[in-house]
A and B are shown apart, each in its own frame.
Chain A
């Protein structure tokens, strides 16, 4: 989104290196993510795009041997600083995973979990509202409004993934990270999620890792191409797909490798 013709940058990554033990997984990644846009990260398997995504909400902390170097500024605040509180960071930066992973609890509990632990809702009524709006935004409300107290694991794959999106947006995050959110879904469910992503970008900045070039072309405004831990090229989706600067990008997009 442009304000007065200037791109608003939400996330600024500067010289990010990631190591798994001694093995370096990401080399010198510098990437700006625009606010209220969808940024797609593409590249062949093992290129580091998911690793980069997980740097943005410090999910790599969970992996003992993983270390991250470099600066990642979100709203001009370096999240790799010692003073950064991951709990508050993850409240601001939601995440949707590759495989739908609803809690084995009821739909209602799934969506209300975030607001509960962050103390967002003051009353039962307020919580009901949050659950309803979140489910509505995730385009799931009509399908499940009569069975909010049934287990979330009983839904179909596509519904489960939308439930996970509803869960992620229940705490009104500024950024939503999506790690191949459609790879476990059929084409119809995929289309629903893609439509949803387009809707969500009005209020959230979205970064999506995807294997599907077509999906990247359909949903994103900006694209970054990763290969072997390097960010080869990034820019507007139009440019990357129609007129890439780098021949590797060209080869990947035209399906010559990957």
Chain B
């Protein structure tokens, strides 16, 4: 008998140990996947924050630029920079034939003419002189410099020719290639050229969408939650509504996209591809999340507080507004932020309402066409150029940073303002 008991006890301890082991290995697996994921994103993405520049001597030849003596500012604006830009690239190899000159030109971004122009506008005294100007390298050379380019492929399978590589290697050897922090990644809108593409448009698009979403979803959801929790009679009809709010939270987001497309764009004729429509669509999606969070935090307010207020002769409205709602706000707010974070990462509905369009301008208001960060990831991930690979990861990093900041904020609100019930 005693021995049996001993055995049973041992068995129970062993079972507990096994259970701990399972739990620990589950956590370990989760951490492992997370680490691999983060490592992958960072190792591919970090190089996108660097940009490769070629340092090319440019001669600001007044004649080639069609400039008179003592040109005014307007003259400088209208001057022809293409020829000197071409010439400075061609001059990198004095022996180049026409084809090779063309290849030399393609070593920098098509933006090079403008970069040279800006240089002169900054310092008009450069006319007639030669200066070394930083020109954005083409995305392929950018990748070559970052070591991401398969140089050992046969020439006909590469976009970079042997000739371009030879010149580029010379430039590197002469210290005429430099890598600097990629500001344009944050200030440029999307572009077909990987070296010029940036996230400004999609970032602003995301911010505007989230703001529109917040302004619609928050008041509607909070009012709905307060009414359902504090005022509505508990009967079949309200049960039915409750079930359907939960159902709504489980509806796939693409369905909301179809709703946006069919109702907002087709019937109400709102402008396509805009954060306004995106925000409204996202707000439909966020609504149930916030309602559920708000109701949960209203429920968490102890009934004794309501009773105390009611027994003091407060009306139902006063009880709700003076006590219950303020006490539930921390939970509601953090639920709202979590809902917005979800909306921020949403892609499918935005694609349907046209926010997947190629937008190379930065939106100034929710009424301007824009992309959003997750859609930008989608667009770039679809692009063939090698230069976009690192951009995808970099954009994911920005999006993750955004999300983590929001979630952190939600945690802070929850911990700082939540009242403790002893």
B251 within 8 A of A: no
With a CB–CB cut-off of 8 A, which chain B residues contact A118? 313
A104 touches B312 (CB 8 A): no
Report Cα–Cα, A103/B312, bound state, in Å.
11
Stretch of B64-72, B278-286, B300-308 on the interface side: B300-308
Chain B residues whose CB sits within 8 angstroms of the CB of A167 once the complex forms:
308, 312
Q: B323 in the interface, Cβ–Cβ < 8 Å? A: yes
Q: Are A171 and B308 in contact (CB under 8 A)?
A: no
Q: For chain A, residues 85 to 115, give those with C-beta under 8 angstroms from any C-beta of chain B.
A: 86-91, 94-95, 97, 99, 101-104, 113-114
Total count of chain B residues near the partner, CB < 8 A: 22
| Contact across chains for A171 and B307 when beta carbons are under 8 A apart | no
A188 interface residue (CB < 8 Å to B): no
Interchain CB contact (< 8 A) of A59 among B233, B310, B318, B422: B310
Contacts of A114 in B (CB 8 A): 312-313
Nearest residue in B to A61 (C-beta to C-beta)?
A: B310
Q: Decide yes or no whether B311 CB sits under 8 A from chain A.
A: yes
B234: CB under 8 A from chain A? yes
A146 within 8 A of B: no
Asked whether any CB of chain B lies closer than 8 Å to the CB of A64, the reply is: yes
> Please, which residues of chain B bring their CB within 8 A of the CB of A101?
302, 304-305, 307-308
The CB with the most chain A CB atoms within 10 A, among B313, B314, B422, is that of B313
Closest Cβ–Cβ distance, residue A142 to chain B (whole Å): 24
A78 within 8 A of B: no
In residues 116-167 of chain A, which contact B (Cβ within 8 Å)?
A: 117-118, 153, 164, 167
Task: For the complex, give the distance between the alpha carbons of A118 and B312 in Å.
Answer: 9
Among A59, A64, A88, A89, the residue within 8 A (CB) of B234 is: A64
**Is there contact, CB below 8 Å, between B307 and A104?**
no
Is the CB–CB distance between B312 and A113 below 8 Å?
Answer: yes
Kindly provide the distance from the CB of A257 to the nearest chain B CB, expressed in whole angstroms: 30
Number of CB contacts from chain A to chain B under 8 A: 63
Distance to closest chain B CB from A89 (angstroms)? 8
Per-residue B-contact encoding for A59-81, CB less than 8 Å = 1, 0 else: 10010100000000000000000
Near A by CB (< 8 A), chain B positions 227-267 give 233-234
Within 8 Å CB of B420, what residues of A?
Answer: 153
Given A104-B327, A117-B318, A153-B422, A88 and B313 contact (CB-CB distance below 8 Å)? yes
* Contact A90–B327 (Cβ < 8 Å): no
Question: Is the C-beta of A57 less than 8 angstroms from some C-beta in chain B?
Answer: yes
Contact status B313-A164, CB under 8 Å? no
- B311, A103: Cβ atoms closer than 8 Å: no
Q: Which residues of B contact A62 (CB under 8 A)?
A: 306-307, 310
- Check B313–A117 contact: CB distance below 8 A: yes
Nearest Cβ distance between residue A141 and chain B, in whole angstroms? Answer: 20
Chain B residues with CB below 8 A from A89, complex form:
313
Contact B314 A59 (CB under 8 A): no
**Residues of chain B within 8 A of A113, CB atoms compared:** 309, 312, 314, 322
Distance to closest chain B CB from A12 (angstroms): 22
Are A90 and B308 within 8 A (Cβ)? Answer: no
With a cutoff of 8 Å between Cβ atoms, the chain B residues found around residue A88 in the complex are 313
Distance from A256 Cβ to chain B, minimum over Cβ atoms (Å) = 34
On whether the beta carbons of A171 and B312 are closer than 8 Å, the reply is yes
Shortest A134–chain B CB gap in Å is 12
A214 CA / B93 CA spacing, docked (Å): 109
Q: What's the Cα separation between A99 and B322 when bound, in Å?
A: 21
Q: Hey, which chain A residues are within 8 Å of B419, CB to CB?
A: 104, 153
Alpha-carbon gap, A135 to B193, bound state (A): 75
Q: A64-B233, A64-B234, A104-B419 are in contact. Are A94 and B323 (CB under 8 A)?
A: no
Among residues 309 to 330 in chain B, which have CB atoms less than 8 Å away from a CB atom of chain A? 309-315, 318, 322-323, 327
Bound complex: CA of A164 vs CA of B309, how far in Å?
11
Contacting residue for B304 out of A64, A86, A91, A97, CB 8 A = A97
Give Cα distance in the complex from A103 to B422, angstroms. 13
Does B233 lie within 8 Å of A117, measured CB to CB?
no
Q: How far is the CA of A104 from the CA of B327 in the complex (A)?
A: 9
A64 vs B309: C-alpha distance when bound (angstroms): 18
Q: A103-B323, A117-B318, A153-B422 are in contact. Are A94 and B311 (CB under 8 A)?
A: yes
- Nearest CB in chain A to that of B306: its residue: A62
Mask, B205-246, CB within 8 Å of A = 1, is 000000000000000000000000000011000000000000
Q: In the docked arrangement, what's the CA distance between A24 and B304, Å?
A: 24
Residues of chain A within 8 A of B304, CB atoms compared: 97, 99, 101
Partner of A171, one of B233, B313, B315, B422: B313
**Interface core residue of B306, B309, B310 (most chain A CB under 10 Å):** B310
Q: How far is the CA of A57 from the CA of B312 in the complex (A)?
A: 10
The 10 A-B pairs of least Cβ separation, nearest first, read A101-B304, A90-B313, A95-B311, A91-B313, A104-B419, A101-B308, A114-B312, A87-B313, A117-B314, A87-B315
15 further contact pairs, Cβ within 8 A, besides A62-B310, A153-B422, A171-B312: A57-B311, A87-B313, A87-B314, A89-B313, A90-B310, A90-B311, A91-B313, A101-B308, A104-B305, A113-B309, A117-B312, A117-B313, A117-B314, A164-B308, A171-B313
A-side interface residues toward B, CB under 8 Å?
A: 57, 59, 62, 64, 86-91, 94-95, 97, 99, 101-104, 113-114, 117-118, 153, 164, 167-168, 171
B contact set with A: CB distance below 8 Å? 233-234, 302, 304-315, 318, 322-323, 327, 419-420, 422
16 interchain pairs, CB-CB under 8 A: A59-B311, A62-B306, A86-B313, A90-B311, A90-B313, A94-B312, A101-B304, A101-B308, A103-B308, A103-B323, A113-B322, A117-B313, A117-B318, A153-B419, A153-B420, A167-B312
